[in-house]
A and B are shown apart, each in its own frame.
Chain A
Amino acid sequence: MSQKSEYIQTETGNKVSRKSLIIGSQNIILGGKTIIQADCCIRGDLRRLVPQNQNAAAVAIAVGRYCFLSKGCLLRPPSKTYRGQFSYYPMKLGDHVFVGEASVVEAAVIGSYVSIGKNCVIGKFSIIKDCVRIEDGTVIAPNSVIPSFSSVEGHPGVVVEELPETAAEMLELKELYKSI
């Protein structure tokens, strides 16, 4: 019973821990059925600086369906100088993305069926394609691109193995969502 009341459930089935820290929630989109555990931090306030005339709602972080953000992980939009203007840029997570405990994610795009282990650091503007497994303690360099069906490990992270074609089934998180 106490486990159940730890989470606030939204209309689209997201379960967000009361102990998580979500800053700038107006700039965050959760696709539904996403679980956010305690001590997670999502920095939606670090949004793109738009010129004053276009006052459109800037999305800082978009998360797909059936994502799982474990305890103490951090999603932080990446930042860089482009055309002389320093700005943060939006970050996009696909469906069935698992982020392990205490990992820090500053990627630009993460595809679907991606599993990130514990204590990983995903560098600024890295792009991770679909069906990727990132082992515990991996550090992915900024601006790197990780191809589909790869397993990444090390400091700096390199592709050590290819995943089988059935990887998407292994990395699906529907059962994990039902267990919480």
Chain B
Amino acid sequence: MAPKRSGASASSAPLPPLSIDSTALLSDAISFSGTYSITIGANSVLHPRCKLNSTEGPIVIGSNCIISERTQLIAPDIDGLVLGNYVHVEVNCHIQAARIGDATSIEVGTKLGKGSCIGDNCTLSPLSTIFDVDVLPAYTVVYGENHRRMDNSATAVARNETMLAHIDCLKKLLLNKAEKYTR
């Protein structure tokens, strides 16, 4: 039989140990793989077809995060991948970071190298690449051809409010299939 494209069916490899908060929203066809634990915090939203790979280490997603479709979260090593709260990861991202700080926005098609560390309140513009073990201080904006500047706009609180409104909206639009993964 051909392997199923959606990794979440009962017939495929066993799911890694999952700890999903009851208020989190998990869409259909999310692919979980690996053997280390995956923790998903309160009020977080995972779009369909995102991939979480915990073969090398655990993955921890904080509260109020949005992970969009086709994004891959891969734990780089035994210390795992830790996402803070209010993290927004857009589509087509490839993330092997060690840590992503609170309220960081990672836009379309970003690649985060193995073991990189992203601070709080950072913004990574579309198609940016962060190299392995690179460290971004808090409030960094990465734009254009890997240019960097500091974000002095003091909009962190407003952005968190927008995230909450966004999650609220997604909870009305997307179907919650969380019980499918926790069985």
In the complex, A41 Cα to B50 Cα: how many Å? 13
Assess the B108–A155 pair: CB atoms within 8 A. no
- Nearest chain-B residue to A156 (Cβ)? B144
Query: Which residues of chain B are near A87, meaning CB under 8 Å?
Result: 169
Q: Which residue of A has the minimal Cβ distance to B170?
A: A46
Q: Check if B19 is an interface residue, CB within 8 A of chain A.
A: no
Q: Name the B residues within 8 Å of A123 (CB-CB).
A: 126
Please state if A121 and B109 are interface contacts (CB–CB under 8 Å). yes
- In the complex, chain B residues whose CB is within 8 Å of the CB of A102: 92
| Assembly CA distance A108 to B109 (angstroms) | 20
Chain B: CB-nearest residue to A76: B91
Q: For B48, what are the chain A residues with a Cβ–Cβ distance below 8 Å? A: 21, 23
In whole angstroms, how far apart are the Cα atoms of A156 and B143 in the complex?
9
Q: Of the 9-residue stretches B32-40, B51-59, B75-83, B160-168, which lies at the interface with chain A?
A: B160-168
A139 touches B174 (CB 8 A): no
Given A47-B173, A86-B168, does the pair A139, B92 have CB atoms closer than 8 Å?
A: no
Interface of A: prevailing SS: strand
A155 touches which of B91, B107, B145, B162 (Cβ 8 Å): B145
- Interfacial chain A residues near B173, Cβ < 8 Å: 45-47, 49, 88
Q: Does B4 contact A (CB under 8 A)?
A: no
Identify the closest chain B residue to A23 (Cβ): B48
**Number of A-B pairs, beta carbon distance below 8 Å:** 54
For window 93-139 of A, CB contacts with B under 8 Å fall at 102, 104, 119, 121, 123, 137, 139
A interface residues, how many (CB within 8 angstroms): 25
Interfacial chain B residues near A41, Cβ < 8 Å: 49, 69-70
Check if B127 sits within 8 Å of A49, measured CB to CB: no
Chain B residues with CB under 8 Å of A85's CB are 165
Contact B169 A79 (CB under 8 A): yes
B23 within 8 A of A: no
Residue among B125, B173, B174 with the highest chain A CB neighbour number at 10 A: B173
**A88 proximity list for chain B (CB < 8 A):** 169, 173
Q: Give the residues in chain B near A91, CB-CB below 8 Å.
A: none
Interface presence of B172 (CB below 8 A): yes
Interface presence of A152 (CB below 8 A) = no
Complex contact B108–A86 (CB within 8 A): no
Determine whether the beta carbon of A79 is less than 8 Å from that of B70: no
Q: Decide: A21 and B91 in contact? CB cutoff 8 A.
A: no
Contacts A81-B165, A86-B166, A86-B168 hold; do A21 and B49 have CB atoms under 8 A apart? yes
* Chain B nearest Cβ from A130, distance in angstroms: 25
Report yes or no: A139 in contact with B162, Cβ–Cβ below 8 A: no
Q: List 18 A-B contacts (CB under 8 A).
A: A21-B48, A23-B48, A41-B69, A49-B173, A74-B70, A74-B91, A86-B165, A86-B169, A87-B169, A88-B169, A88-B173, A104-B91, A119-B109, A119-B127, A121-B108, A121-B109, A123-B126, A155-B127
8 cross-chain pairs, A with B, having the tightest CB-CB distances, nearest first: A86-B165, A121-B126, A86-B169, A121-B108, A139-B126, A104-B108, A86-B166, A45-B173
Please list the residues of chain A having a beta carbon within 8 angstroms of any beta carbon in chain B: 21, 23, 41, 43, 45-47, 49, 74, 76, 79, 81, 85-88, 102, 104, 119, 121, 123, 137, 139, 155-156
* Known contacts A79-B169, A88-B169, A155-B145; 9 further A-B pairs (Cβ under 8 A): A41-B49, A43-B69, A74-B91, A85-B165, A88-B173, A104-B109, A119-B109, A123-B126, A156-B143
